[in-house]
């Protein structure tokens, strides 16, 4: 998954390993970011952010935003209507536009809580990272 904040010249994005549901009512999700990550400082000041769950075709995006630049890659982000400063990766499986509601210190990380203000879902298989490797999900018949 890729966390993003800002847009245009202020856009910053990073790959994160996981996020979780925080609540169904209101719909909240939680992401954990290390306090030494550049994204941490940006999220500490952000009012909104985005989460893009990558498809199994987007492994290069995951690597790129994890600090392994893919010089040939030209990631395409789309703005979220009505949520200034939120852009999400095109062709991601799931896309969440979030309003920051809370921040909680958690050891050497901070848990960032966002209320889901926009959501979209596509029918592509998600990218999986498990045991230090990327994988896809096989369809079950």
Q: What's the CATH code of the domain at 8? A: 2.30.110.10
State how far the alpha carbon of 12 is from the alpha carbons of 5, 23, 27, 32, in Å: 6, 26, 24, 16
Residue 136: the pLDDT is 77
Residue 96: the pLDDT is 97
The answer on pLDDT for 141 being more than 70 is no
pLDDT digits 0-9 by tens, 25-40: 999 999 999 999 999 9
- Mean pLDDT across the chain: 92
Domain that holds residue 20: 2-135
- The contacts of residue 45 (CB under 8 Å, 6+ apart) are none
Both tokens assigned to 35: 């306090």
Residue 140: the pLDDT is 64
Residue 141 lies in a domain: no
Residue 75 lies in a domain: yes
pLDDT digits 0-9 by tens, 85-140: 899 999 999 999 999 999 999 999 999 999 999 999 998 889 998 888 988 777 66
Q: Across residues 59-78, what is the average pLDDT?
A: 93
Residue 125 lies in a domain: yes
Residue 140 lies in a domain: no
Question: Which of the four pLDDT bands, split at 50, 70 and 90, describes residue 18?
Answer: confident
Residue position matching structure tokens 């045991």: 131
> Across 54-93, where does the E strand assignment appear?
77-79, 87-89
CB 76, CB 24: distance < 8 Å:
no
Count of domains observed in the chain:
1
Residue 43: the pLDDT is 96
CB 82, CB 48: distance < 8 Å:
no
pTM of the model: 0.92
**Sign, CA torsion 106/41/132/128:** positive
């Amino acid at each position: 998954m890729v966390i993003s904040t800002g847009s245009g010249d202020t856009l910053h994005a990073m790959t994160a390993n996981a996020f979780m549901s925080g609540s169904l009512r209101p719909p909240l999700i939680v992401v954990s970011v290390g306090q030494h990550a550049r994204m941490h400082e940006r999220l500490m000041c952000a009012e909104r952010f985005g989460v893009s769950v990558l498809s199994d075709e987007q492994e290069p995006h995951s690597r790129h935003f994890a600090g392994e630049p893919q010089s040939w890659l030209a990631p395409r982000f789309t703005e979220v209507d009505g949520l200034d400063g939120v852009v999400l990766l095109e062709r991601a499986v799931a896309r969440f536009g979030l309003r920051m509601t809370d921040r909680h210190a958690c050891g050497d990380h901070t848990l960032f809580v966002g209320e889901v203000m926009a959501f979209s879902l596509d029918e592509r298989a998600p990218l999986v990272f498990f045991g230090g490797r990327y994988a896809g999900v096989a369809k079950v018949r």
